[in-house]
Amino acid sequence: MHTFEIRDQFMLDGEPFRILSGSIHYFRVHPSDWHHSLYNLKAMGFNTVETYVPWNLHEPRPGEFNFEGICDLTRFLDEAAELGLWIIVRPSPFICAEWEWGGLPAWLLADRSLRPRSRDPKFLARVASYYDALMPLLVERQVTHGGNILMMQVENEYGSYCEDKEYLRSIRDLMLERGVDVPLCTSDGPWRGCLRAGTLIDDDVFVTGNFGSRAGENFAQLKAFHEEHGKRWPLMCMEFWDGWFNRWGENVITRDAQDLADSVRELLELGGSINLYMFHGGTNFGFMNGCSARHTHDLHQVTSYDYDAPLNEEGNPTEKWYKLRDVVRDLFPDAWTAEPLIKDAVALEGVALKERAGLFENLDRLAEPVSSLYPQPMEDMGQSYGYTLYRSSIERDTLEPERIRVVDGRDRAQVFVNGELVATQYQEHIGEDIRYALPQENNQLDVLVENMGRVNYGHKFLADTQHKGIRTGVAVDLHFILGWEAYCLPMDDVAKIDYSAGWSEGTPSFSRFEFTLDEPADTYLDTTGFGKGVAFVNGVNVGRYWEIGPISTLYVPHGLTRAGANELVLFETEGRVGDTISLRSEPLIRHLDKEGVE
């Protein structure tokens, strides 16, 4: 049994302790690679791993909990314990993390009277139910119970969102009532406004700051806030940003390795504790990428969460890893360090197409239509992620081009008449006039809407734009069209596709490839030549691709491949297809100019 206390220093088993931690999100790393990443953290000389816990993965539908596979949190914690690593767990309902809707489950949006991240009793009841399932897994792994969890977080950067202390206390109490007895903490921007709004310092909940440079200046602000409230706590940066995330159509953001090493050295020489965000960023598998909120044009994040971290997306050490190990060896000569584990990735050129099938030709196999008078947002139909195909019919009233408008939709709409694409609209352009001469007296109207990811931070967190699909309706001329069938397409089972059903050029389609490996291996799918969509390897959604870049590959971990034949399916929305595809041994990153052109 161990002890961990927060006095004027961190005290582990009664001795002063410096937290040298790195973030690894188990849900962004395939379980077959957890040991690889955790070992490399330990080998760099660090002693602690930190992870968020994403509510939306663990409770994908109300009352249905998942703690298996990539969601097997306890296995991840136990693997860390076997390596002798301590753990900081951040199980707050909201995690930000550039993750879809900050980790909150999208089914909460179906109840418009419920206000997330607030003292709303209905929201707190949902959190309580979730914690009933989650907390028993964590409680028995606390240091106070013989485990390795040192500390847990109450909420995440709440001072950048609101100042509801009753809500914060409610979340804290839900944790305490379920047996959490290790120290609790919050993390916020280190300036007074954020700290005042987002902390429970007067309730003795430990306060940390988030920043990525100027440790002296930021620690001074944090210390002043501590002292203002009569605290002499140790100084800790809970998120020391060693890189940054990336968004579609923008260049990859990097940070100089020596600059990072010098900044970390400064923090450690000041006596601070650190959690590197990220140590291993990993991948936003499936539809789990988040979105940066902007006034009009929100910016969706890419599938790769490489983050320019000390371990790259694949989990191998970068220059930053070696420079940080040098810092540890210099400042903490007694720390255990070692050489890192390194994996290889395979490359295959010209993997041939096996067969192709159209989305329209497979609708009835992929979904049961939902009938309604007006089109409904996806959440109201029990759907959280992916695509929704809305179908109705429109009568021709004139031989002149008609005016068609998708009114109040999110995030990206493709409009088809009789199976022909007539317009693609994205975010703020949805609702603009589409002029099209209807070719027949009665015409089939299809609108394919993609949820590209909900915002994970900022003022739009509860905006109506987080309800995806068509929220108001579709108008032709000046009137709304009635009588709709909606096909919910979460793309959770591509095995249903009938490749003998046919395909029409220029329409959304599924392309199936097969590649053969001697043994399971990492690789990168090169989506050059395709337009926009998602990829599935042996039935698992490995994430979105988009020709606008900056990254033109999708990482596939060896845990998703197998010796022998492997199936690759691309769902392509733009009608941009190829008869071959290649696998690379490293990512393909393009440099874009200010207009997003390579």
Q: Catalytic one among 157, 379, 572, 574?
A: 157
Are 80 and 87 in contact by the 8 Å Cβ rule? The answer is yes
Whether residues 326 and 364 share a domain: the answer is no
C-alpha atoms less than 13 angstroms from C-alpha of 447 in its C-beta half-sphere: 34
> Which pair of tokens denotes residue 47?
């002693």
The residue ranges of DSSP E strands in 126-235, in sequence order, are: 149-156, 184-188, 206-211
> pLDDT grade, residue 593 (50/70/90)?
confident
Domain-located, residue 590: no
**Which residues does residue 514 pair with via DSSP β-bridges, in sequence order?**
567
For the question of residue 432 being annotated catalytic, the response is: no
- Specify the DSSP element, H or E, that contains 323: helix 319-331
Domain-located, residue 177: yes
| Predicted local distance difference test score (pLDDT) of residue 534 | 98
Domain-located, residue 342: no
> pLDDT grade, residue 598 (50/70/90)?
low
Whether residues 308 and 409 share a domain: the answer is no
Nearest 5°: the CA angle 511, 515, 519 is 145
> What is the rounded distance in angstroms from the CA atom of residue 245 to the CA atom of residue 265?
23
> pLDDT grade, residue 438 (50/70/90)?
very high
Mean pLDDT of the chain: 97
CATH number for position 244: 3.20.20.80
The pLDDT tens digits of the residues spanning 120-145 come to 999 999 999 999 999 999 999 999 99
> pLDDT grade, residue 216 (50/70/90)?
very high
Cα dist. 512→482, 535, 573 in Å? 36, 10, 15
Whether residues 120 and 216 share a domain: the answer is yes
Q: Catalytic one among 98, 239, 379, 574?
A: 239
Domain-located, residue 107: yes
Whether residues 209 and 77 share a domain: the answer is yes
Host domain of residue 388: 360-489
The pLDDT tens digits of the residues spanning 405-419 come to 999 999 999 999 999
Domain-located, residue 271: yes
Place of tokens 């040991």: 35
CB environment 68-84: b (16+ within 10 A), e (fewer): eebbbbeebbebbbeee
| Predicted local distance difference test score (pLDDT) of residue 441 | 97
Whether residues 76 and 135 share a domain: the answer is yes
Domain-located, residue 246: yes
Residue 310 φ then ψ, to 5°: -60, -30
| Predicted local distance difference test score (pLDDT) of residue 597 | 60
Domain-located, residue 343: no
The pLDDT tens digits of the residues spanning 369-423 come to 999 999 999 999 999 999 999 999 999 999 999 999 999 999 999 999 999 999 9
Whether residues 482 and 533 share a domain: the answer is no
CATH number for position 411: 2.60.120.260
Domain-located, residue 464: yes
Order the strands of the 402-410 sheet from edge to edge: 434-436, 402-410, 469-476, 479-480
| Predicted local distance difference test score (pLDDT) of residue 90 | 98
Nearest 5°: the CA angle 576, 580, 585 is 110
Total domains in the chain come to 3
Whether residues 539 and 390 share a domain: the answer is no
Interval 252-268 mean pLDDT: 98
For the question of residue 177 being annotated catalytic, the response is: no
User: In the predicted model, is pLDDT for residue 596 greater than 80?
Assistant: no
| Predicted local distance difference test score (pLDDT) of residue 594 | 63
> Which pair of tokens denotes residue 146?
């013989």
Of 430, 456, 489, which marks where a domain is finished?
489
DSSP state of 201: G
> pLDDT grade, residue 352 (50/70/90)?
very high
> What is the rounded distance in angstroms from the CA atom of residue 247 to the CA atom of residue 550?
8
Of 489, 521, 555, which marks where a domain is finished?
489
Whether residues 243 and 277 share a domain: the answer is yes
The pLDDT tens digits of the residues spanning 63-96 come to 999 999 999 999 999 999 999 999 999 999 999 9
Of 455, 489, 523, which marks where a domain is finished?
489
User: In the predicted model, is pLDDT for residue 297 greater than 90?
Assistant: no
Whether residues 468 and 558 share a domain: the answer is no
Whether residues 97 and 125 share a domain: the answer is yes
The pLDDT tens digits of the residues spanning 480-530 come to 999 999 999 999 999 999 999 999 999 999 999 999 999 999 999 999 999
Whether residues 262 and 383 share a domain: the answer is no
3-class DSSP state of 355: strand
> What is the rounded distance in angstroms from the CA atom of residue 360 to the CA atom of residue 547?
23
The pLDDT tens digits of the residues spanning 8-23 come to 999 999 999 999 999 9
Whether residues 519 and 538 share a domain: the answer is yes
> What is the rounded distance in angstroms from the CA atom of residue 73 to the CA atom of residue 133?
12
Q: In angstroms, how far is the first alpha carbon of the chain from the final one?
A: 57
